[in-house]
Chains A and B, each alone.
Chain A
């Protein structure tokens, strides 16, 4: 009987309303927890209307409507909307890929191009950063997918290379011992991976030395500054010269001084 079809249709819609609410709530909590997305209202609405839409279609079928016409119209509308929102959809799809990769999370410090900042939000269209100068930067997801991104927070430890130049007259063995002793007494320098001192080459003004140490990624800037200060202090104490860039001028034979004549 026809009226039973309407009753079934009504039941489908009521069930759909209830189920859509439950499912959207559960799925939103899960997505928020796993991917740390803010503005999850978008997720919630998408899932709600998606589930409800299914039940509405089932209700319409129950009432005897021919869905082929509806599907045809939906297809045409989709193409039009797709063309119109090409950039937005690209950002949304890029966002999904980013989420799937797990390359970045809220709280991470990242660098994209010349922009460095802390991730404060990952949304469907863009990632939001707070720079060290406390500025707000919005990065479209598409930009992130197409660019090189460096995540400073991904790993718990990080390597610090301290490049320093010492005068040619200095004893390299002594320099190495001073640096390694300094690192040994510094608890923030990790014992493993083992610190190293490398002679990188012979520069114009001095010998290039590289001190390689590992430390925790958190408060890395503080650690870097502290190490620079301590190395300078250690070198000052041991009277090791860090040379200024300089040029020596020779007038043909290095043993003879350059002739200087004072004119009245």
Chain B
């Protein structure tokens, strides 16, 4: 079901209701004559507790209590709705549960997962009806001072270096981050900003969502850093399908978005 949901269109007849559960999000879709209704709520505020699998099934009744509601009206009616995964609409600042240090002259790849944003498309439109996160991340600020920087989302990560130990959850997108420390001292990873705007999403054969790898290179001169999106895809992405393009194509702003992690 996971692979079909991201790749196919779903047919929802008039006067029918469906329930979609992804991550912490519980969403009800209703198709009425010339209308689409969406009711949703979040099951948990603990990021680690979200559901592992995606559930999508028809339901007869919706209990509308404590649900947020969106209503869309349209002139031409179509039963087809497309649901596609997206990355967050802002950068995500991920902090490890405990501080992590990378010794001098070492390179490591860390796997970080972030919540999926769902985008809904109807009538074959290229622009989505709306987007919704599968988990409500808190806001945070990423920058050297409060007057300089940008608004981001905050998340936590465990800093897993072994792929096997990474929990596979359908509502998460995995980003490999390769960090190279060419400086003379340890690099303290206090926080890492995932530049969601610049990354695309791939769907693997196993039904997992991945982004291209992010390379962060701390130069020998410890005050200089290079950041880029790796052109060669991670081996896990062999035969993977590109599902979603990046929100922003120009990567010239990428360095500024992630550089502060070294000076946090």
Chain A positions within 8 Å of B, measured between CB atoms, are 154-157, 159, 185-193, 214-216
What is the CB-to-nearest-CB distance from B261 to chain A, in angstroms, rounded to a whole number? 12
Partner of A191, one of B138, B146, B147: B138
Interface string of B34-63 (1 = CB under 8 A from A): 000000000001000000000000000000
What is the CB-to-nearest-CB distance from B20 to chain A, in angstroms, rounded to a whole number? 22
Q: Kindly state the interface size class of chain B when it binds its partner.
A: 10 to 19
A189 touches B138 (CB 8 A): yes
Name the residue among A187, A188, A215 with the largest chain B CB count within 10 angstroms: A187
Partner of B154, one of A154, A156, A192, A216: A192
- Residues of B near A159 (CB, < 8 A) are 146
Name the residue among B95, B136, B141 with the largest chain A CB count within 10 angstroms: B141
Residue of A nearest to B45 (CB): A185
What is the CB-to-nearest-CB distance from B45 to chain A, in angstroms, rounded to a whole number? 6
A156 touches B150 (CB 8 A): yes
- Residues of B near A155 (CB, < 8 A) are 146-147
Task: Say if the beta carbon of B140 comes within 8 Å of chain A.
Answer: yes
Please report which residues of chain B, range 128-154, place their CB below 8 angstroms from some CB of chain A when the two chains form the complex: 136-142, 146-147, 150-151, 154
What is the CB-to-nearest-CB distance from A214 to chain B, in angstroms, rounded to a whole number? 7
Given contacts A192-B142, A215-B139, 11 further A-B contacts (CB under 8 A): A155-B147, A156-B151, A157-B141, A157-B151, A187-B136, A188-B139, A189-B138, A190-B138, A191-B139, A192-B191, A193-B141
A192 touches B140 (CB 8 A): yes
Task: Say if the beta carbon of B93 comes within 8 Å of chain A.
Answer: yes
B138 touches A214 (CB 8 A): no
A135–B139 alpha-carbon span in the complex (Å): 34
A216–B93 alpha-carbon span in the complex (Å): 16
- Residues of B near A185 (CB, < 8 A) are 45
Given A191-B138, A191-B139, A193-B141, A214–B146 Cβ distance below 8 Å? yes
A216 touches B151 (CB 8 A): yes
The 7 closest A-B pairs by CB, nearest first: A191-B154, A191-B140, A187-B138, A192-B140, A155-B147, A190-B140, A190-B139
B146 touches A193 (CB 8 A): yes
- Residues of A near B137 (CB, < 8 A) are 187
Interface string of B195-219 (1 = CB under 8 A from A): 0000000000000000000000000
Partner of A187, one of B139, B142, B146, B147: B139
A157 touches B138 (CB 8 A): no
A190–B93 alpha-carbon span in the complex (Å): 12
What is the CB-to-nearest-CB distance from A128 to chain B, in angstroms, rounded to a whole number? 27
Residue of B nearest to A156 (CB): B151
A190 touches B141 (CB 8 A): yes
- Residues of A near B95 (CB, < 8 A) are 191
Residue of B nearest to A188 (CB): B139
Please report which residues of chain B, range 75-133, place their CB below 8 angstroms from some CB of chain A when the two chains form the complex: 93, 95
- Residues of A near B139 (CB, < 8 A) are 187-191, 215-216
A206–B50 alpha-carbon span in the complex (Å): 43
- Residues of A near B154 (CB, < 8 A) are 190-192
B45 touches A192 (CB 8 A): no
A186–B138 alpha-carbon span in the complex (Å): 8
Partner of B146, one of A157, A188, A189: A157
What is the CB-to-nearest-CB distance from B69 to chain A, in angstroms, rounded to a whole number? 19
Residue of B nearest to A184 (CB): B138
A216–B149 alpha-carbon span in the complex (Å): 13
- Residues of A near B142 (CB, < 8 A) are 192
A209–B140 alpha-carbon span in the complex (Å): 24
A216–B141 alpha-carbon span in the complex (Å): 9
Residue of A nearest to B147 (CB): A155
Name the residue among A159, A192, A214, A216 with the largest chain B CB count within 10 angstroms: A192
- Residues of B near A193 (CB, < 8 A) are 141, 146
- Residues of B near A192 (CB, < 8 A) are 93, 140-142, 154, 191
What is the CB-to-nearest-CB distance from A65 to chain B, in angstroms, rounded to a whole number? 56
A-B contact pairs, 22 of them (CB 8 A): A155-B146, A155-B147, A157-B141, A159-B146, A187-B136, A187-B137, A187-B139, A188-B139, A189-B139, A190-B138, A190-B140, A190-B154, A191-B93, A191-B95, A191-B140, A191-B154, A192-B93, A192-B142, A192-B154, A193-B146, A214-B141, A216-B151
A159–B154 alpha-carbon span in the complex (Å): 18
Interface string of B155-193 (1 = CB under 8 A from A): 000000000000000000000000000000000000100
A191–B140 alpha-carbon span in the complex (Å): 5
What is the CB-to-nearest-CB distance from B181 to chain A, in angstroms, rounded to a whole number? 23
